[in-house]
Amino acid sequence: MISFLETYGAQMILKTWQHIYISAFSLALGVIVAVPLGILMTRVKSSVANVIMSIASMLQTIPAMALLALMIPFLGIGAFPAIIALFIYSLLPILRNTYLGMEDVEPALIDAAKGMGMTGWQSIIKVEVPMAAPVIMSGVRLSATYVIAWAALASYIGAGGLGDFIFNGLNLYRTDLILGGSIPVIILALIVDWLLGKLEAVVTPRTTQS
């Protein structure tokens, strides 16, 4: 282990940073798109919401390697197409949980907000989103785990990251390289899940805690 770090330590730091960068950017895009879209879905007809959810579910079923390969003819190779592919994969859990969380808000709370003179927008911001926040964050946590794991495949299209160690290890039959890429990915996923779990606890309304 020590000899591995002496040989590949600098590369490990660089590849870990690339992995974090790709994963964080993809997840951030997923949150920016999926949360507002999930909220919007609660304001449209259920048939429209079902169509949007079906499209997101269909995109989720495309194999990761296939989606990354499809990016090459249109976006080339590197970090950008990898981010777009991972962004697509991050959408479904966040979108689904946002929609379900908003739908599960007690109607009495929404009626009370209207009774206080709140507009629909104010009700969303001040009442519905805070009450749905734990469910939304649960979707974000799930997406974060997926994205960090799938980011290892981004090496396939030249995006870098810890997947470089894994693919090189497979090509050279080097167990140390495979473990050198796999173990940091697992640790990174666990750390991010733990941090987002703490954030989920922070945004959970006190009235919903035991």
Question: What string of DSSP letters covers 131-173?
Answer: HHHHHHHHHHHHHHHHHHHHGGGGGGGT--STHHHHHHHHHHT
Average pLDDT over residues 151-175: 88
Q: What is the pLDDT of residue 209?
A: 45
Structural domains of the chain ordered from first start: 2-208 (1.10.3720.10)
Confidence at 8, pLDDT banded by 50, 70, 90: confident
Q: What is the pLDDT of residue 134?
A: 92
Structure-block tokens of residue 165: 């160690």
pLDDT at 120 over 80: no
Listed in sequence order, the residues at least 6 apart from 98 whose beta carbon sits closer than 8 Å to its beta carbon are 34, 35, 37, 38, 39, 132, 135, 136, 139
Query: Tell me: the pLDDT tens digits for 25-48?
Result: 999 999 999 999 999 998 888 888
Average pLDDT over residues 100-115: 86
Listed in sequence order, the residues at least 6 apart from 205 whose beta carbon sits closer than 8 Å to its beta carbon are 130, 131, 133, 134
Q: What is the pLDDT of residue 208?
A: 45
pLDDT at 196 over 90: yes
Kindly report the average pLDDT of the chain as a whole number.
Answer: 88
